[in-house]
Structure 1
Amino acid sequence: MSLGDLQVLLVEPSHMQAQLVLRMLAHLGVSRVQHYERAGEALAAMRETRPGAVISSLYLPDMAGTELVTAMRHDEELERVPFILISSETRPQVLDPIRQSGACCIVAKPFTEAQLARALHSAIDLLTPEEAFDAVEVEHLRVLLVDDSYASRRHIRRLLEEMGLEEIIEAENGREAVIKLADTMVDLVLTDYNMPEMDGRALVEYIRTQSWQGSVPILMITSEHDQGRLAAVEKAGVSAICDKPFEARNIRQLIAQSLCA
């Protein structure tokens, strides 16, 4: 799929901002674009004709962008539609629900055409999954997915299933993951950092020092940006760390590298 094949729905109440995005999209070759100022109108249009990707502002007249993407993720017809947020918001507590929803990209204002193009290519990667493995029978591999966000687990699980991985075990936090690891052998652990009861760092430390599966690859997918905390996770023995939101191509490569090492 190319950018010219992508059908985009833009939700932007500002006329000036909408015109800027529309000009950039046209220059990138994206000609099929619907523009709405309100989230309710956008949702109704999506349900009539599912778009290839949604680009939205965070603050909308009738609901927040977080509510819009949540509504999409609770609709079976729209839950797989890539969501791109464009915002000048920087507060982690505001952006975290977007990151946890499985948004494919957050584009910070001010932004360039190249940054918008990268976000659109990230959406295309989600829509057109590639084979990540050559010589491994992935359907027999078992993955433990640990995240307290149901939306995030669903998003990552879909990506894993598109890669051909069939045996996926889910846990809502590190403590639940420890229980599952006690009697179930896994080939890969994918975990969030911030979770109740037992966070990702504690889980990594437990696996590396106390679990009978101490050498299992551990990939952390997180919205945590505190460098001190992330350094502690690396010291604890995590195999790789990936930011939320993530590009599908990057996460596929990290998973493939972890499983094929």
Structure 2
Amino acid sequence: MQKILLADLSIILVEPSDTQRKIISTLLHKENVENVNAVGTVAEAIDAIHKQGADLVVSSMYLEDGTGLDILKAIKNSPELCAIPFMLVSSENRPEKLEEFKQAGVAAMLPKPFSTENLSRALKASLDLINTEELDLELFDVRQVRVLLVDDSKLAR
């Protein structure tokens, strides 16, 4: 399997503020990410994900028609989309709000305001999830492999 580089990433950026969209897009371009589709609402994000796909979704927490958690749940609850990593960009610092995202399977959390170093680290963490190596199961009969999955979060399971 060929590894995806930052320059190859297709990102859907979900940010309600035009100014913040421009700032984040510019910073992504400085990290050599050229394919950024910026939208402003949950509905636009879900529509863009279904129509064009994405390697990564980068979203604010609070949007006009919902939250980034709504987008993350839509991704994780879809068999076709569930492998798409989700990065949260937010100034939210209440642990209970951030815990919801952790339990739902967020790939990275980027606090606002963030430095280019923070963005670079979050992008690399997301790339690590995208570029996972497949297990070689030639020595196993996959029909007889048993897996026990335990998690207290229904969404995480």
What TM-score do you get using the length of structure 2 for normalisation?
A: 0.86
- Distance (whole Å) between structure 2 residues aligned to residue 130 and residue 44 of structure 1: 29
How far 1:11 moved relative to its partner? 0.3
Q: CA RMSD in A?
A: 2.1
For structure 2, the residue ranges without an aligned partner over 5 or more in a row are none
- 1:141-199 CA-to-partner distances (Å, cap 9, x unmatched) read 9764421112223xxxxxxxxxxxxxxxxxxxxxxxxxxxxxxxxxxxxxxxxxxxxxx
Distance 1:141-1:75 versus aligned 2 partners, 3 A rule: closer
Alignment of 1:42-61 (within 5 A): 42-61=45-64
Aligned equivalent of 2:100, options 91, 97, 100: 97
2:81 to 54, 78, 81: 78
Instruction: Identify which of 147, 152, 155 aligns with 2:156.
Output: 152
Compare the two structures and name the one with the higher helix fraction: 1
**Correspondent of 1:38 among 19, 41, 47:** 41
Q: How does 1:189-228 map to 2 (within 5 A)?
A: none
Q: How many residues align?
A: 150
The DSSP-based 3-state class of the residue aligned with 1:51 is coil
**Letter of the 1:146 counterpart:** V
Rate the CA distance shift 1:141–1:76 in 2: closer, same or farther, 3 A: closer
State the AA in 1 paired with 2:37.
Answer: Q
2 CA distance for matches of 1:82 and 1:120? 10
Is the partner of 2:66 in helix, strand or coil?
A: coil
SS of residue paired to 1:34: strand
The answer to which structure, 1 or 2, has the higher relative contact order (CA under 8 A, 6+ apart) is 2
Alignment of 1:1-261 (within 5 A): 1-130=4-133, 144-153=148-157
Structure 1 Cα separation of the partners of residues 6 and 37 of structure 2: 15
Cα pair distance change 1:131/1:76, threshold 3 Å: closer
Unaligned runs of 5+ in 1: 154-261
Contact 1:101 1:152 (8 Å CA) reproduced: yes
Distance in 2 of aligned mates of 1:79 and 1:103: 11
TM-score (normalised: structure 1) = 0.53
Q: How many angstroms apart in 2 are the aligned matches of 1:70 and 1:131?
A: 25
Distance 2:81 2:125 in 1: 17
